[in-house]
């Protein structure tokens, strides 16, 4: 796989639009969670840039933890995911926000949110940068989605194609 920019067919969401929307979302989260113990859960790897920008848009204190998940046996259709890297914290004394890069079929977030809900956080919500509602295969709906996009494969702003293009500052449509 090469990192050739010829694979970038168009910029779908500019760095400026992402920045603006994150500021709005950060302000909304800060208002909702003021005075509450807040834990931001970054789901690696795709949401690392979004998480870094979102937590810096908060005007309230928060803690941050990381997890990484993988679909069982490479079969995404089962909707079962395994934890590759688990959280370090006991989340039972926190309001938890799971930060995701993109909700596509919804299988990953449905499974991750139900796994974390079993650990009895004070509350749990999912904030996703992108939502592809046309691709949904479950009844999962993120609590907050910054941008709805059509059914196209995207890269950039943390998201990859075979580990390439994560470093782009914008979200772009990938052309094979
Ligand atoms: P879901 O379980 O189908 O909702 O998939 C969610 C995960 O699939 C995301 O966290 C991404 O890692 C990956 N994914 C889905 N669509 C895209 C895309 O267009 N570009 C990059 N990764 C994607």
Rounded to 5 degrees, φ, ψ at 159 are: -90, 145
CA distances from 59 to 5, 30, 31, 32, 128 (A): 36, 6, 9, 11, 19
Over the stretch 107-153, which tens digit does the pLDDT of each residue have?
A: 999 999 999 999 999 999 999 999 999 999 999 999 999 999 999 99
Closest residue by Cα to atom 9, ligand 1, is 102
| Buried b or exposed e, range 27-60, using 16+ CB within 10 angstroms | eebbeebeeeebbbbbbeebbbbbbebbbebbee
Query: In sequence order, which ranges of 86-135 are alpha helices (DSSP H)?
Result: 107-117
Q: Whose CA is nearest to atom 17 of ligand 1?
A: 153
Instruction: List the domains of the chain with CATH numbers.
Output: 5-174 (3.40.50.2020)
pLDDT single digits (tens) 56-115: 999 999 999 999 999 865 555 566 789 999 999 999 999 999 999 999 999 999 999 999
Task: Indicate left, alpha or beta for 157 from its phi (over 0: left) and psi (-120 to 50: alpha).
Answer: left
Predicted TM-score of the model (pTM)? 0.95
Q: Which atom from ligand 1 is nearest to the alpha carbon of 108? A: 2
Ligand 1 shell residues, CB under 6 Å = 46, 100-109, 153-154, 159
- Closest atom of ligand 1 to CA, residue 104: 4
């Amino acid at each position: 796989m090469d990192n050739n920019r010829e694979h970038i067919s168009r910029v779908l969401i500019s760095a400026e639009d992402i920045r603006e929307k994150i500021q709005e979302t950060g302000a909304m989260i800060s208002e909702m969670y003021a005075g509450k113990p807040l834990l931001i859960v970054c789901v690696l790897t795709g949401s690392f840039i979004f998480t870094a920008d979102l937590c810096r848009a908060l005007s309230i204190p928060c803690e941050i933890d990381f997890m990484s998940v993988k679909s069982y046996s490479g079969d995404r259709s089962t909707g079962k995911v395994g934890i590759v890297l688990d959280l370090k914290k006991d989340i039972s004394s926190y309001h938890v926000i799971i930060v995701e890069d993109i909700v596509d079929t919804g299988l990953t977030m449905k499974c991750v949110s139900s796994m974390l809900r079993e650990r009895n956080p004070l509350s749990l919500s999912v904030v996703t940068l992108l939502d592809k509602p046309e691709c949904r295969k479950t009844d999962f709906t993120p609590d907050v989605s910054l941008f709805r996009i059509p059914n196209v494969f995207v890269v950039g702003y943390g998201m990859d194609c075979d580990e390439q293009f994560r470093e782009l500052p914008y979200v772009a449509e990938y052309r094979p």
